[in-house]
Amino acid sequence: MPAQRLLGVPRLRYSIRQLIVGMVLVGLACVALRNAGPIWVAALLGSVIVLLGAAIPLVLFRDGRQRAFWFGFGLFGWLYLLVLAYSWSLDPNTAAGNPLRPQSLITSHLSGLGYRQLYPTDDPFTIYGVSGSPYGPNNVNGTIGWPQGGTTVGPDGTSNSFSFYFGSTATNVPRGPTRENFVNVAHAFWALAISVCGGWFSCWVFATRPACPVSGDSSATS
């Protein structure tokens, strides 16, 4: 019997209100990721912190399955935010080998992959600008290349010197938010998703807990 309780998966039930809230969150995620910016980052991360803070009194003043859900929600959510805070506070000059640096987190990799799929950029290309022309290096993203030069001899025997700049590169700028803002907005939704999954896991642990033994033995005789 205890093994069956442990391996048994409790049935997840969703109300219409929960489905509506889920649809609203999906729509909000699409809008926020499409228009990711400093305001969206501040608003979403602030909202997640407030929601995780509200989970603490909900754990204290709820019972049974609700308490289990909010306990897992707050535990996993705060753990993810602590990992983010630690990774963001790392010194970039000394964090090359740290597995918890921002670029090493799996959520950062997945968010970056989504950004590249939504806003692809072309490969960098090299521009050769002739010195003194409007297409010179000063007009290419402000990049100054390495000057090269030489002399050519024309059919009439006259020599002409020339110079050009080699190595000026340019890339197409993607239409959309910056990668940093996109990833930071995604972190807010990752924190929310991990919190919800933690709440469900806590509910599963609560539902499959071993039955409490009955105090005393009713079959005992004096």
Identify whether 220 is part of a domain: no
CA dihedral (189, 193, 199, 201) in degrees, to 10, reads -160
Identify whether 157 is part of a domain: yes
Can you tell me whether residue 47 is helix, strand or coil?
Answer: helix
If asked whether residues 141 and 55 sit together in one domain, one would say no
- What residue numbers bound the domain in which 160 lies? 125-170
Identify whether 134 is part of a domain: yes
If asked whether residues 158 and 198 sit together in one domain, one would say no
Nearest to 174 by CA among 186, 184, 185, 182: 182
- Residue bearing the bigger pLDDT, 222 or 151: 151
If asked whether residues 16 and 86 sit together in one domain, one would say yes
If asked whether residues 131 and 36 sit together in one domain, one would say no
Identify whether 221 is part of a domain: no
Identify whether 217 is part of a domain: no
Q: What is the pLDDT of residues 88-127, one digit of tens each?
A: 887 666 666 677 777 788 999 999 999 988 888 654 444 4
If asked whether residues 202 and 104 sit together in one domain, one would say yes
CA distances from 167 to 74, 122, 129, 170 (A): 52, 17, 9, 10
Identify whether 139 is part of a domain: yes
- Which pLDDT band holds residue 13 (cuts at 50, 70, 90)? low
Q: What is the mean pLDDT of the chain?
A: 74
Farthest CA pair distance, the chain:
131
If asked whether residues 38 and 140 sit together in one domain, one would say no
pLDDT for residue 181: 92
The Cα–Cα gap between 74 and 51 comes to 9
If asked whether residues 163 and 86 sit together in one domain, one would say no
Identify whether 215 is part of a domain: no
If asked whether residues 80 and 10 sit together in one domain, one would say yes
The Cα–Cα gap between 25 and 183 comes to 17
If asked whether residues 39 and 135 sit together in one domain, one would say no
If asked whether residues 9 and 30 sit together in one domain, one would say yes
Residue 152's contacts (CB-CB under 8 Å, 6 or more residues apart) are: 159, 160, 161, 162
Q: What is the pLDDT of residues 177-189, one digit of tens each?
A: 898 999 999 999 9
Q: Is 55 exposed, middle or buried (0-12, 13-18, 19+ CB in 10 A)?
A: buried
What count of other Cβ atoms lies within 10 Å of the Cβ of residue 189?
19
Secondary-structure percent of the chain, ordered helix, strand, coil, rounded to 5:
55, 10, 35
Nearest to 165 by CA among 183, 186, 140, 185: 140
Stated pTM of the model? 0.67
Identify whether 213 is part of a domain: no
Q: Is 203 exposed, middle or buried (0-12, 13-18, 19+ CB in 10 A)?
A: buried
The Cα–Cα gap between 191 and 208 comes to 26
Number of domains within the chain: 2
If asked whether residues 78 and 48 sit together in one domain, one would say yes
Q: What is the pLDDT of residues 42-97, one digit of tens each?
A: 999 999 999 999 999 999 999 999 999 999 999 999 999 999 888 888 766 666 66
If asked whether residues 138 and 202 sit together in one domain, one would say no
